[in-house]
Each structure stands twice: as C-alpha cells, then as structure tokens.
Chain A
Amino acid sequence: MNFTRAPERIDAMPNTTSIGWTLIFSAWLIATVSTLGALFLGEVMGNTPCVLCWYQRIAMFPLVLVLAAGLFPFDPRVVRYALPLALAGLGLALFHLALIAGWIPESIKPCQQGVPCSNVTVVWFGFVTIPLLSVLSFSLVVALLLTTYFKGSK
C-alpha cells in the first residue's frame, strides 16, 4: 500500500526543485540588477551614497554571491543564509523611505555628516526614488525566498 506513494514523490522532487531553483534564480536576478543599479548611480553618475544607502548596499551586494552559490548545485537551504540579509536590508530601506517621507522626526536621523539621508537626489516619474526602489527590491527578494521556503517544506 505504501508503494503507491513512492513514485509520486520521485516525480514531485525534480518539479519542486526546479520551481525552487527558478524562485532563487529570480531573487538572484533582482539582487544583481539592484547591485549593478546601485553601482551605476553611485560610481558612474557620481551620486555619493549616504550612510543608510551604504547599509542597504551591505545587505544587497552579498545576496548576489550568496544566492548564486545556492543555485549550483541547487540548495534550498540558501534561504536560511540569504533571508537575514534580505530582511535587514528591507528594514533599512523602509526606515530610509520613512525618513525621506518625513514620518520620522529629524532627531532620530542616524546620519548628520556627509550626505544627509533625507536628501532626495534622484526622482523618476515624480515618485520613484532610490529608497523606494530599494524597498521594492528587498521586498521581492524576501517574498521569493519565503515562497521557496514554504514550497520546499510542503
């Protein structure tokens, strides 16, 4: 009786693996595009990153390498290593967004010297700012990682 379930499982395994792989690959794509985008805005266009931007970079840049390492061979446990970085980044990005939106009072601004984090240097289409893009990237990465985790544990 138990034998009937076995073939099903063998069939299911590569399927969940490839879904998981695609999810992690998508997260890697987002992290890589964000990393290159941040480098372009900073190094090529010459917008000096503020302190909060640097902390978000610290969370984003390693994701490119960590996620890529989890793809070959595919290791679903990569979620365990990438999620803390992505969550930290998301937290910082949300804080940054709240800061430029003015929801957080001046006194708790963590950066006083150099480039103030409340400065908005880039605005596209009237509402797209760099912190908004950062929140978007980190949220997508977190969502993809969580989906991979729950798909894998089913």
Chain B
Amino acid sequence: MKQKTLFSISAIALLLAFVAGILFYTGQKEKAADQLVETNRTALIRMHSPSVGKSDAPVVIVEFFDPACETCRDFYPMVKQMMAANPDKIRIVLRYAPFHTGSDKVVAMLEAARRQGKLWPALELLFAKQSQWTQHHAANVDEVWRLLGGIGLNMEQMAFDMTSPEIANVIAQDLADAKTLNVTMTPEYFVNSKPLPSFGFDQLKALVDEELAENHAR
C-alpha cells in the first residue's frame, strides 16, 4: 500500500515537473523571441522589401518566405483572402528566405521580374506551378526560367538583371536579417513586429485579428 502511494506520487510529481518545464520553457522562448524582434526592429523591414497594401495600414505583416516552400504556397491564398476581407487594413511585406537549394536563383529571377513590374504575377505563377519546378526540396532553375518566359517579360533584360549586385545584396541582406531574427523555417510571420506564439494559420489569424481589434478600439 505504502509502495503504491510512493510510486503514484513519484509518477505524478515527475509528470507535473515535465509539464511545468514545458510551460516555463515555451514561455521563456516566446519572451526571448519578442525581445529579439524588439532589439532588432530595423532587421524586420528594409527599404528594398516588396510590399502590398496601403502604406499606412494599421496592421503590417512581415513574411519571410521561400518560393520553393510548400507551406508558403499554401498560406499565400489564405493571407490574400485575409487581406481582401479587411480592405486597407493590412499591408504585407515580403522578405526572402531562400533556404532550399537553388531558391536564391529563383528569388533573383523574382527580383529581376520586379524591375519590370511583374513581381506579383511571377510569384503567383511560381506558386501555382510549384510542383513542376521543385523536386526533392530543390529548385529546378531552368524550369522556372521556362515558366517565367510565358508572362511577357523581357527575358534578355531578366538575364542581365538577375546577376546584378543590387539583387545579390537584397538576397544577402534578407538572409542576414532572417538569421538575426532567428527565422529558421518558412513561412515565418511577424504581425506588427510580434512573432507568432506558435506556427499555424489560426495563430496568424488570431494575432492579426487582435491587432485589428486594437486598432479599431483606438
């Protein structure tokens, strides 16, 4: 009888310690993540970062993404829908985090397309046809080139722009900022400089709604 009590108390105590450890650790981690953004605000948005939405929109979503990332592709229409549901309230800023092999070349193409005013059609096309040009988590650059040839870009100019040092700098800066902000997976979102407490579309929506409500109350 005494042994059973001892065993049960130990088991419960260990489990409680485990759960308490999880709560403490995740709490600390969230605090550290908030702190990290707080001290590195300049790394969040750069002058060169492409964005959509009114410049004075009350809610700014910063998204670190990789064109070859499947989850980024899946989130894209959902975020777009969220923006459509709250016209003029949300601005999205894109940051490049080309973690997949070959993705940096794809980002260079997107930036080159941007110089011809076709960043968004190019990005939407790449997301739509993503399965065609990504294999085993690597980007097939030739296939991307072929696909982008179909949206009326000046491909000769593209080939020239792609290798420009400015574009290389943009990619290097974004990767450096991702490192500073401890972005290790894509997509990563910051809503009005706040990181998601945990990853998921519901969490993103909750944070956006919270910020929208706060703005409404003001």
Which A residues fall within an 8 A CB radius of B?
21, 25, 28-29, 32-33, 36, 39-40, 44-45, 68, 71-72, 74
> Interface 1/0s, chain B 4-37, versus A by CB < 8 A?
1011001100110110011001100000000000
Asked if B3 is an interface residue, CB under 8 A from chain A, the answer is: yes
B3, B4, B10: which has the most chain A beta carbons within 10 Å? B3
Smallest beta-carbon distance B95→chain A, Å: 22
Q: Supply 7 A–B pairs (Cβ within 8 Å), ascending by A.
A: A21-B3, A28-B7, A36-B18, A44-B22, A44-B26, A71-B3, A72-B7
The chain B residue sitting closest to A71, CB to CB, is B7
Contact in complex: B21, A40 (CB < 8 Å): yes
Give complex CA distance A19, B207 in Å: 56
Inter-subunit contact A29/B10 (CB<8 Å): yes
Q: How large is the interface on B (under 10, 10 to 19, 20 to 34, 35 or more residues)?
A: 10 to 19
- Kindly state the separation between the CA atoms of A71 and B10 in the bound complex, as whole angstroms: 13
The residues of B with any CB-CB pair to A shorter than 8 Å are 3-4, 6-7, 10-11, 14-15, 17-18, 21-22, 25-26
Chain B proximity of A70: nearest CB distance (Å) = 12
Residue of A nearest to B14 (CB): A32
Within 8 Å by CB of B3, from A25, A32, A33, A36, lies A25
Question: With A and B bound together, what is the CA distance between A68 and B14 in angstroms?
Answer: 14
Which residues from A are CB-within-8-Å of B4? 72
CA distance A39 to B18 in the complex (A): 9
Q: How far is the CB of B142 from chain A (nearest CB, A)?
A: 27
Cα A36 to Cα B4 with chains together (Å): 21
| Residues of chain A with a CB closer than 8 A to B22's CB | 40, 44
Partner of B14, one of A33, A45, A72, A74: A33
